[in-house]
Amino acid sequence: MKTIKYLGLGLLLISRLGFSQTLSAYPNPFIQSSTVEFVLNSPDTTSLSIIDITGQIVRTILNDTFLPTAHYSYVVSGDSLVSGMYVIKLRRGDTSETVRVVKLSGTTEVSSLDNDDNFMLFPNPVRDKLFINGNIENMDVTVFDVMGRHWSAPHARSEIDVTSLLIGLYYLNIIGDDVNVIKKFIKQ
C-alpha cells in the first residue's frame, strides 16, 4: 500500500483490490475526521469535493485527476469545517455519486450537542410528534440519521411528525442567519 500526502489535508491510501464498492464515508457523523472510500474499476478522470448545504465547494480533494484502477481511501480532516451537513461528491468521467456527512463539534454526548438553551426538543425520546421550544421562524429545520441520510421532516412551525421514522438515534439541525444548532433525539 502506498501513501500520498495532499497539502496536509489528509492522506490518500491506495490499495490494489479487485472488488466493487460505492462511495462511502465513516464514521458519520464525525467530529475530527471521516474516511471517504471509493473504488475505480477502470482508470478514469476523477474529482472528489466537499460541498456545504448552500451548494458551495468548501474543499477540493481531487480535481480532474487521472487515477488508475484501485480502491481509494481518503481521510478528511474536519478541523476547518464548521458543524453541519456536507455532501461529498465523487465524479468519474460522466457519472457522479454523492454521500451526505455530518460534522459535529465536541463530543457526541447529549450534554455537549444540546448546549444551546434557545432550542429545546420534547418529548425526548419521542413516538409521534416532536416539539421544538424556541423561535424557528425563517430557519431551516433538517432531520438526519446517524449515517447522515437526510429525512424530509413534515413540520408546522415548531412541531415535527416523526411517526414514519424507524426506531433509533437522530439529529435535528436548525440553521438560520447566525444560528447552526444540532440537537439529538431518540425515536421510540
DSSP result, 93-142: TTEEEEEEEEE--S-SSHHHHT--TT-EEESSSBSSEEEEES--TT-EEE
152-185: burial string, b at 16+ Cβ within 10 Å, e else: ebebeebebebeebeeeebbbbbbeeeebbbbbb
**Looking at the predicted structure, is the pLDDT value of residue 6 above 80?**
no
Residue 29 DSSP one-character state = S
**Looking at the predicted structure, is the pLDDT value of residue 188 above 60?**
yes
- Residue 166 is predicted with a pLDDT of 87
Please state which CATH number belongs to domain 110-187: 2.60.40.10
Separation between Cα atoms, residue 174 and residue 162, nearest integer Å = 16
Residue 6 burial (CB count, 10 A)? 12
User: Can you tell me whether residue 8 is helix, strand or coil?
Assistant: coil
- Residue 2 is predicted with a pLDDT of 31
- Residue 112 is predicted with a pLDDT of 38
- Residue 115 is predicted with a pLDDT of 52
Domain with CATH 2.60.40.10 in the chain: 2-103, 110-187
Sign of CA dihedral 165, 167, 170, 172: positive
Q: Give pLDDT tens digits for 146-175.
A: 767 777 665 656 888 898 888 888 888 887
Q: Give pLDDT tens digits for 116-142.
A: 667 888 998 899 999 988 887 788 888
User: Residue 154 has which C-alpha cell?
Assistant: 413534515
Q: Give pLDDT tens digits for 29-64.
A: 888 889 999 988 889 999 999 998 888 999 999 999
Q: How confident is the model at residue 1 (pLDDT cuts 50, 70, 90)?
A: very low
Enter the pTM of the model: 0.52
Decide: 51 and 36 in contact? Cβ < 8 Å. Answer: no
CATH value of 2-103 in 3.40.605.10, 1.10.150.20, 2.60.40.420, 2.60.40.10: 2.60.40.10
3-7, 65-69, 90-94: the lowest-pLDDT one: 3-7
